[in-house]
């Protein structure tokens, strides 16, 4: 299944580094998402983009900066992260139906395993 790809798959960075996570979807969808998955916690929705416009930002710290240059690509720019930011970062996409319906199925990439030292 290669509908949603993410690079890199693994990333180790120091707290002063700047790095970016990349997500690409090949499904023709118009909405993309960033999630954070930490052990023993529910999946946390971070950002939602619909038609390249950010429609949701769930109180995510400013050290995480998303970018959606077109409907197929989504980036998450990282700078001055903390060790507690170590997690699996998942990208997902969906075909947005009627506005606000929220019933569409989301398709996930394999994730980027991030370790902050």
Partner 1 sequence: GNSVTQMEGPVTLSEEAFLTINCTYTATGYPSLFWYVQYPGEGLQLLLKATKADDKGSNKGFEATYRKETTSFHLEKGSVQVSDSAVYFCALSNAGNNRKLIWGLGTSLAVNP
Q: Which of residues 57-86 bind partner 1 (CB under 8 A)?
A: none
31 is a site residue for partner 1 (CB under 8 A): yes
Q: Which stretch binds partner 1 (CB under 8 A): 13-21, 60-68, 74-82, 98-106?
A: 98-106
Structure tokens at 40: 């023993």
Among 8, 18, 56, 95, binds partner 1 (CB under 8 A): 56
CA neighbor of 11 nearest in space, from 100, 78, 107: 78
List helix spans (H) across 1-117: none
Taking only Cα atoms into account, the Rg of the chain, rounded to an integer number of angstroms, comes to: 14
Stretch that binds partner 1, among 13-21, 40-48, 60-68, 74-82 (CB under 8 A): 40-48
Residue 89 CA: distances (Å) to CA of 38, 98, 100, 101: 9, 27, 25, 25
Q: Which residues lie near partner 1 (CB under 8 A)? A: 1, 4, 6, 31, 33, 40-43, 45, 48, 50, 55-56, 90, 92, 94, 96, 100-111
């Amino acid at each position: 299944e290669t509908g949603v790809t993410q690079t890199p798959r693994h990333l180790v960075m120091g707290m002063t580094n700047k790095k970016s996570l990349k997500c690409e979807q090949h499904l023709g969808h118009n909405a993309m998402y960033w999630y954070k998955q930490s052990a023993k916690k529910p999946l946390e929705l971070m950002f939602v983009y619909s038609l390249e416009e950010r429609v949701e930002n769930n109180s995510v710290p400013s050290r995480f900066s998303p970018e959606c240059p077109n409907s197929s690509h989504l980036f998450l720019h990282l700078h001055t992260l903390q060790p507690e930011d170590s997690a699996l970062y998942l990208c997902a996409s969906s075909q947005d139906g009627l506005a606000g319906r929220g019933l569409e199925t989301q398709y996930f990439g394999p994730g980027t395993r991030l370790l902050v030292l």
